[in-house]
Structure formats: structure tokens, C-alpha cells
Amino acid sequence: MTSTPTSALPIAARVPPGLPAAELLDATREYGSGNALVRALDGVSIAFPAGSWTAVMGPSGSGKSTLLHCAAGLDRVTRGRVLLAGQEITGAPDRVLTGLRRRTMGFVFQSFNLIGSLTAEQNVALPLKLAGARVRRADVRAVLASVGLGDRLRHRPRELSGGQQQRVAIARAMVTRPAVLFADEPTGALDSASARTVLGLLRTMVDREGQSIAMVTHDPAAAAHADAVVFMSDGRLVDRLVRPTAREVADRLARLEAAPC
């Protein structure tokens, strides 16, 4: 095992120095064939810098989710290359990808995707157990406490609010101290107060521990929490803003959506 959850190493150091946390090089992803051919990604090259938070925005169908899935090795690119923490994963076998999911990646989704029959504590401990690592309850509790749920250990997902469930999901993603956290609309199903809590939590993780985050979102307010925002349209990258305000993001998005096809 290259790393244990208790390693004191700062998270940013889990990516070799100078390399991006995740990178797509000239990546193309096509679905279907013939007349029904859809090109969800069209020669995209993008790097998600280590120790920073990148948001991906774009109109529906612009390919932003596909970008995230390909970067995380959940979907395969038709052409091009994909690198994760400096490691080539373009054609990696399932075994290698499973290993990476255990140690190098974390996932947070719009639908919280917790296992209903397990308590918050068990849900968080699950990735460690699957990786065959020794599970220390203190670690699990510390992670849950860091997302503000130290008093909800024994609750099952259905006994928690949406915001609390999402925080459990974040704790589950963070317990393995992954090099990169992939987030797909993490605030999409939350009310605005819960959304603010979750975004604040992610921001803290980047600032304090140098966590790398790649996030897809619809919400300009969510994107404004990121260090950089990239915009996609029709499977291509079309713009990039650094540390924008929510208003700037919303204006850029509105122009994209109004653009003639």
C-alpha cells in the first residue's frame, strides 16, 4: 500500500511536484456511430493544477460531465490521453483504475450516493475497508468531525438532511486523502444555506491542505468559490476565468448560452 489514510504527508505532496493533479491531452470522446455520432469531447486539452480548485461550466450538453468522467477514468476517451497525478490512465485496465479509485481519487455527486443500509460512520469507513486498510475509528470520526457531523456518526442517510448527506459524502471522499477530488454538481440538490456550508468546506480543504478539486457545476455562485473557472461549449473549451465573481461567471455563461449555434 503506497499510502495509508493516517499518513501525515500534506495532500498536495501526493501529486509529483510540478505536475497537474489531472490532465487531458487532445481528448476526444464520441458516442454512437454514423448519423447518430455524438462528439461529447472534441480535442480538449486541459490541466487541473495541483493544490487548486478548478470549476468546469457550460450549457447543458456542452460535455462538462463527460470531461469529468474521462478525467476520472470512469469513461474512456476515443482519442487522446488522460493522466492522473502524473500517471497515464488512458487505456488502464480495471484493476489499475480500481487501485487509483482507492487511493488517488475521491468522488462527490449531486445525488449523494450513500449506501442506505450503512450508518454515516460505516459509509465513511467503507473506502478504507474496500482498500483493505486498517480502519481506525478515531480517523473516521475526525473526518466526520471536520465536516461538522461529529454528532451524527450512528445515523443512516435517510435520517440526515440533504446538506448533511452531502457532507457525509465529502467525508467519505476525503477519508483516503485522495490526490484529486472530482465533484459533479455537488450543490445541485441542496438549499442555498447547505450549499454555502458545503462550498465553504471545500474551500477550506483547498486552502488548508492543498486539496486539488475538479468540479462541474451549473451554479455561478458555486463556481465563484473556485480558483479558476473554465467554460465549455459543444465539447470544446472556450474560455477561462481566474478567481471570478459570481456575477462575472453568470455573465459569461449567459453569453455562451445565447451564442448562435
Partner 1 sequence: MLTLALNTFRERWRLFAGAITAVALGVALVQSSLLVMVATDRAPIPAGVTGRAREELREGYAGAATLLGMTVMLSAFLTVFIVSSTFAFTVAQRRRDLALLRLVGGGRGQLVLLLLGEALLLGLTGTAAGVLVGLPATWLQARLLIALGFLPGGFPLVWDGGVLIASGCVGITVALVGVLAAARRAAKVRPLDALRDTGGAARVMTPMRWLAGLSCLAFTIWMVSLAQSADLLGAMLMGLGISIMGAVSLSALSPLVVPLAGRVVGAVLRTSTLGELAQANLRDGVRRSASTAAPLIVLVALLLGLTGTLGSLALMSGEEQRHLVRGDLVVTSTGADLDRIESVPGVAAASPQISLSMSVTARHHEANRTWRQTHYSGIVAIDAAAYARTHDLHVRAGSLARLRGRTIALGPGMAESGIRVGSTVTAAISGHKTRLKVVAALRATLENYSETFLVPRDLVPASTIATAKAETVIRLAPGTSRSTARTAMRAAGADKVQTVPQWADTRTAAQQRGNMGILAVLMGMAGGYAVVAVINAVMIAGTERRTEFAAARVTGLTRPQVIRAALIESWAVTAIGLVLGCTVAAGALAGMLAASLRAAGRPLVDVPWTLLGITTLAAFAVTGAASIWTTFSATKPRPVALLAARE
> Which parts of this chain interact with partner 1 (CB under 8 A)?
69, 74-75, 94-95, 98, 101-103, 107, 109-113, 115-118, 122, 126-127, 129-131, 158, 172, 176, 184, 189
Amino acid letter, 253: L
Smallest separation (angstroms) from partner 1 to the CB of 73: 9
Tell me how crowded residue 52 is: count the other CB atoms within 10 A of its CB. 18
The CB-of-5 to partner 1 minimum distance in angstroms stands at: 12
Cβ 28 vs Cβ 78: under 8 Å: yes
- Rounded Cα distance, 143 and 149, in Å: 9
Give whichever of 180 and 249 is closer to partner 1, judged by the CB atom: 180
CA–CA distances in Å: residue 116 to residues 140, 156, 157, 171 = 18, 7, 6, 16
106 vs 220 by CB, closer to partner 1: 106
Nearer to partner 1 by C-beta: 62 or 176?
Answer: 176
Closest contact distance (angstroms) between CB of 185 and partner 1 is: 10
CB of 187 to partner 1, least distance (A): 13
Nearer to partner 1, 131 or 226 (CB): 131
> What are the start-end ranges of the H helices in 147-183?
162-174
Cell of 92: 488502464
8 Å CB contact between 86 and 19: yes
Closest CA to 46 of 216, 221, 248: 216
CB 255 within 8 A of CB 80: no
User: Would you state the cell numbers that stand for residue 247, as one nine-digit string?
Assistant: 456575477
- Nearest approach in angstroms of CB 106 to partner 1 is 8
Tell me whether residue 53 or residue 112 sits nearer to partner 1 (CB atom): 112
